[in-house]
Amino acid sequence: MDRRKAEETFFKWLTAICTIIVVGSALAIVVTVIIKGAPALSLSMITQTPSGGYYTGTAGGGILNAIVGSLYLAFGATALAIAISLPVALFLQRDYAMKSGFTGFVRFVLDILWGVPSIVLGMFMLTIMFFLGMRASLGAGIIVLALLELPIMIRAMDAAIRSVPDKMKEASYALGATRLETSLKVVVRQALPGLLVAILLAFGRAIGDGASIMLTSGYSDRIPTSLGDPVASLPLAIFYLSGLPYSGAKEKAYAAAFILLVIVLLVSMISRYILKKFSKYVVK
Amino acid sequence: MFSSRLMLIVTFFVVVVLFLIIFVLLRKSWPILSTKSLGELLSWSWLPSQGKFGFSPFILGTLAVTAVAMIIAIPLSILTAIYIAEYAPRKLRAIVKPFIDLLAGIPSIVFGLFGVLVVVPLVSGYLAPLFGTTSTGYCVLSAGIVLALMVFPIMISICVELFEAVPGGVREASLALGATRWQMVKHVVVRSSFPGIIAAIILGFGRAFGETLAVMMVVGNSPVTPSLFGPAYPLTALIANNYGEMMSVPMYESALMLAAFILLVVSVISIIAARLILRRVERRWAVG
């Protein structure tokens, strides 16, 4: 009897300690970035592009190029991904694709695409760029990030749309609405909170990814003026600058990490808020 | 009619993308696959300028880093999931779960920076002396720890879901027979979720296997035989460090494409395996 009790206590504590380790390390990451990043933040850091050369002048100016670059990349990719994801997610519903074998296959393909490492997507895009004669640019970065976002966004949108009750669609069809009208005016409106969360989820993934854009969008001290210009980004600013042996460069890397973390946390908080706030408008 | 046809075309396009990726990478790595023997490709000498492309140090580097990550992540994730699903008071669970989600949302590059700032000094200053060796800290162990941190949220959230899906009736049957809570967890919850746990491990493995920047920052990037406190050079780092000059040496491009193709094949296989297992798991409780 005693052994069973000892075992129970031991494992209860062991699992609790493991949880503390996991939660503690998550806290440690956030705290480290805040401790290092917050002091490095200044007005010039977030309002100026780097001054001087890439290696020598890393002490001057700020990281505006990376902030704006990351926003350009992530917003561009998200817009492109929405344009592709929404039709696919709608099409995956029973209203359109009659054969469930096909939709099952599409979902399976999307799951596989989700798991493809981002560096592999980068290598694929690099090959396409050689083929088309493109160079490392904002446009190429947007395409590869959209590719990264697609499976995430479609699967999340798919889940949101699938939760729309059949009765609601039937009511719309009974009134003589076409499938497209039903999809756009009933289904999309009903699933809107879920769709927004899907978009934010994909956006958060895209803005934090570095390996794919490292190969395809280059790096630049200037803010791009066209889709053909190379562009800096926060993840790559962290990667390149934290490895340089100058304290000015490291400061910039820490500031970039802080800003990136704030953006990602903000995105995740907004999606929580949307789910909570807007779900009351959804007809149950 | 027009709109649904357009949707079909877009859907087709998305499906085609995956096959296009597989085709393009295979096509690009074909020159080196068709001219070099398997023995040459698996050799230890990597000298692109002399036409020697031995992948062994890189494949072993990837395997070593991933293995260390999984050894750390598997027990910690499963035990944490057990605590969250079985032991934690409801209020605590409501705090811990969002925290795990938060960990999942942190970009991998931030994990890398954390690795450089905290894990590397920890390994060189404390862990290596503890084991009686010296290390720069830029080593397999550091990379494994950083990857384990990244894998936690994936494995924990899947496992928590699995454990919570075990029906109450089955648990009560076990408790009614006089089992302690832990015995119930061990014999009923964990055992019945076992296939799902395997799937969670595979998905975590897939994430760790393909990670690039965070690993590069802490692993030392030196093509030697990997050891726990020594550097290694994973496949992902090989691509990221050398894609810039791959057009300058013959066959170099093909060699790096082969590295990407290997990563692709392993990730595709692991996802397929995990999905097939999870699909079975979903059916299990749906019937009972």
| Strand locations in A118-232 (E) | none
Q: Return the ∠ at Cα A254 (arms to A248 and A260), rounded to 5°.
A: 135
Q: How does residue B97 score in pLDDT terms, banded at 50, 70 and 90? A: confident
pLDDT of residue A93: 85
Q: Do B109 and A208 make contact, defined as CB atoms within 8 angstroms?
A: yes
Write the ipTM: 0.91
- Domain A41-278 superfamily per CATH: MetI-like (1.10.3720.10)
Question: What total number of domains does chain B contain?
Answer: 1
Q: What is the tens place of the pLDDT at every residue in A11-42?
A: 999 999 999 999 999 999 999 999 999 888 88
Average pLDDT, rounded, for chain B: 90
Whether residue B199 lies inside any domain: the answer is: yes
Domain range spanning residue B103?
A: 56-242
Give the H/E segment covering residue A151: helix A138-162
Residues A251, A249: Cα–Cα separation, whole Å:
5
Q: How many CB atoms lie within 10 A of CB A284?
A: 5
Q: How does residue A280 score in pLDDT terms, banded at 50, 70 and 90? A: confident
Tokens of B179: 């089992």
pLDDT of residue B183: 92
Between residues B48 and A213, the one the model is more confident about:
A213
Q: Do B21 and A120 make contact, defined as CB atoms within 8 angstroms?
A: yes
CB-based contacts of A65, cutoff 8 Å, min separation 6: A49, A50, A220, A221, A222, A223, A231, A232
Q: Which of B88, B109, B152 sits opposite A238 (nearest CB)?
A: B109
pLDDT of residue B4: 82
- Chain B residues within 8 A of A115 when measuring between CB atoms: 203, 206-207, 210, 267-268, 270-271
pLDDT of residue B246: 82
pLDDT of residue A52: 62
pLDDT of residue A41: 85
Tokens of B267: 């990730």
- Chain A residues within 8 A of B108 when measuring between CB atoms: 208-210
Q: How many CB atoms lie within 10 A of CB A13?
A: 12
Q: Give mean pLDDT, residues A38-61.
A: 72
pLDDT of residue B288: 42
Restricting to A residues 190-209, those with a Cβ less than 8 Å away from any Cβ of B are: 204, 207-209
Whether residue B14 lies inside any domain: the answer is: no
Give the H/E segment covering residue B45: none
pLDDT of residue A44: 79
Tokens of A96: 């359109």
Q: Give mean pLDDT, residues B235-244.
A: 91
Q: Give mean pLDDT, residues A138-167.
A: 93
Q: What is the tens place of the pLDDT at every residue in B150-187?
A: 999 999 999 999 999 898 888 999 999 989 999 999 99
Closest CA relative to residue A12, chosen from B98, B84, B163, B167: B84
Is A110's pLDDT higher than 60?
yes
pLDDT of residue A272: 86
B28 to chain A, any CB pair closer than 8 A? The answer is yes
**Range of lowest pLDDT (A206-215, A238-247, B13-22):** A238-247
Q: Give mean pLDDT, residues B196-220.
A: 92
Closest CA relative to residue B187, chosen from B200, B177, B202, B198: B177
Q: How does residue B71 score in pLDDT terms, banded at 50, 70 and 90? A: very high
Tokens of A179: 């499938």
* Residue carrying structure tokens 């074998």: A101
Q: How far is A281 from chain B (nearest CA, A)?
A: 24
Residue in B closest to A208 by C-alpha: B107
Cβ pair B72, B144 in contact under 8 A: yes
B222 to chain A, any CB pair closer than 8 A? The answer is no
Name which of B11, B99, B149, B157 to mutate to probe chain A: the one with the most chain A Cβ atoms within 10 A of its Cβ: B11
CA distances from B230 to B133, B140, B150, B219, B220 (A): 10, 6, 21, 8, 8
The one-character DSSP state at B220 is: B
Residues A209, A227: Cα–Cα separation, whole Å:
19
Q: Give mean pLDDT, residues B230-256.
A: 89
Q: Give mean pLDDT, residues B214-224.
A: 90
Is A84's pLDDT higher than 60?
yes
Q: What is the tens place of the pLDDT at every residue in B112-147?
A: 999 999 999 999 999 888 888 888 889 999 999 999
Is A218's pLDDT higher than 80?
yes
Percent of chain A, pLDDT > 90?
54
pLDDT of residue B81: 95
Percent of chain B, pLDDT > 90?
58
Q: Give mean pLDDT, residues B242-251.
A: 84
Q: Do B17 and A179 make contact, defined as CB atoms within 8 angstroms?
A: no
Whether residue B17 lies inside any domain: the answer is: no
Q: Give mean pLDDT, residues A204-222.
A: 91
Q: How does residue A284 score in pLDDT terms, banded at 50, 70 and 90? A: low
Q: How does residue A95 score in pLDDT terms, banded at 50, 70 and 90? A: confident
- Amino acid A57 reads G
Between residues A46 and A242, the one the model is more confident about:
A242
Q: Of A142-146, A181-185, B169-173, B241-245, where does the model show the most confidence?
A: A142-146
Q: Which of A22, A211, A253 sits opposite B152 (nearest CB)?
A: A22
**Range of lowest pLDDT (A27-41, B21-35, B82-96, B273-287):** B273-287
Question: What is the CATH classification number for the domain harbouring B72?
Answer: 1.10.3720.10
Residue in A closest to B218 by C-alpha: A243
Q: Do B96 and A23 make contact, defined as CB atoms within 8 angstroms?
A: yes
CB-based contacts of B21, cutoff 8 Å, min separation 6: A116, A120, A121, A124, B264
Name which of B97, B109, B182 to mutate to probe chain A: the one with the most chain A Cβ atoms within 10 A of its Cβ: B109
Whether residue B195 lies inside any domain: the answer is: yes
